[in-house]
Structure 1
Amino acid sequence: MTVLLNRNYVTPEMNKTLAGLSDNLSQTDIKIKYLDANFPFINGFPLLPHLSHNDGNKLDLSLVYQTLDGQITDHSKSISGYGVFEDVIEGEINQPQKCLSGGYFQYDYPKYLTLGQINRDLKFSEIGTRKLVLALIEQKEVKKIFIEPHLKNRLHLSNKKIRYHGCQAVRHDDHIHFQI
């Protein structure tokens, strides 16, 4: 679907970064599943819903999921890969609620972009998603990684590249955004 919608364009540098990421993950069972890159209309022109995906240097990746028996899969929980959130559990920072309570209605907007839920029996893979983020961190070209604070804490991730994107954006507990 990403290709059909013409949203798969990245810069040569981002393509090289993806190849490096793929190499880092080659000895694991994790397959990179990108969701949205850039629309090649005019450099600097974003295509909704992503206002920042406007230069080929930003990419959204699917979280990593596993089957009920623990097998890592490259399937998603929605047709688009967006909108099925890994919600906050007790004791975690509830940033989505803080943003929504603060009037940032667009924060959970991706729930309208699922194009339908599928694979309802999949579970969020903490181990697989952590491996994916750690592999992203290892890529020297990667400057920023956006993932929701509760997932950052749950996955025990700590690196200056991992940042909070703010309430003016959309939540990042259904996908990972990174940029070079």
Structure 2
Amino acid sequence: MSTLIIVPAVAPLFGRETVTHTAGIKPTNFMTVLLNRNYVRPELNKLLTKTARALEGTDIKIRYLDANFPFINAFPLLPHLSHNDGKKIDLSLIYETPNGNITQTQKSVSGYGVFEAPKPNEYNQVETCLNSGYFQYDYPKYLTLGKINSDLIFSERGTKLLIETLLRRPGLGKLFIEPHLKHRMHLKNDKIRYHGCGAVRHDDHIHIQLK
């Protein structure tokens, strides 16, 4: 019997299920699905579904990256150290075309590794971490699997709408994004946290987790 059948059938025994795909929720890269990196707790699935419904009527869709493996708590989904309990998932940033239209496409094949770096007038947490010896901080630059769509522009309005909609979900515990993007988008909420230099930079994706 195919592992594509066995794994989803057994995962609920460990309190996990595949991310539900809808018109508003799809993987950024289908390798996430093929490698079984798309498992979450049912509560996180509900959070994503309700967020997608709240975004209906807009041009914003949820495109997700790595979530968790289907089995075994405390076994990390490398290179993520904290994706080990079904409570976490990474979401793609929102981009615009040069003429200002929201697009569902990304700037790398994997969805990781192309950064919306700090501007000269913004606080550079990335530089602070790298200068402090945290060499892994920008490691995702090696995980792009190829850069694409170089003409796309980071959408402040689109990403802000996605984040603000997520923040209204009562089940959301924390949201990680790089400090310069938080300030650039004028986001103020106690659920938005800094992930620390021991992690990797979060200006190529958004990390969310349950309470």
TM-score normalised per structure 2: 0.84
Kindly state the Cα deviation for residue 41 of structure 1 after the two structures are TM-superposed. Answer: 3.2
Shift of 1:43: 2.0
2:191 alignment partner, one of 156, 161, 167:
161
Which of 64, 68, 92 does residue 34 from structure 1 map onto?
64
Name 2:158's counterpart in structure 1: 128
Partner residue in 2 for 1:5:
35
Superposed CA offset, 1:122-164 (max 9, x none): 1000000000110110011001000000000000000000011
What value does the CA root-mean-square deviation take over the aligned residues? 0.7
Q: Is 1:97 aligned to residue 131 of structure 2? A: no
1:143 aligns with 2:173: yes
**Cα distance per residue 1:76-105 (max 9 Å; x no partner):** 100010000001102111000000000000
User: What is the CA–CA distance in structure 1 between the aligned matches of 2:168 and 2:60, rounded to whole Å?
Assistant: 16
> Distance between the aligned counterparts of 1:148 and 1:126, measured in 2?
13
Q: TM-score w.r.t. structure 1 length?
A: 0.98
Find runs of 4+ consecutive structure 1 residues off by over 2 angstroms.
Answer: none
Larger Rg over CA atoms: 2
What amino acid is aligned across from residue 164 of structure 2 in structure 1? L
Gap regions ≥5 residues in structure 2: 1-30
Could you tell me how far apart the structure 2 residues matched to 1:159 and 1:47 are? 28
Q: Tell me the number of residue pairs that the alignment of Structure 1 and Structure 2 aligns.
A: 180
Separation in 1 of the partners of 2:88 and 2:116? 22
Give me the identity figure in percent: 67
Work out the CA distance in 2 between the residues paired with 1:146 and 1:47: 17
| Structure 2 CA distance for aligned equivalents of residues 23 and 98 of structure 1 | 39
Query: Using the alignment, how far apart are the partners of 1:5 and 1:67 within structure 2?
Result: 30
- Asked whether 1:55 is paired with 2:77, we answer no
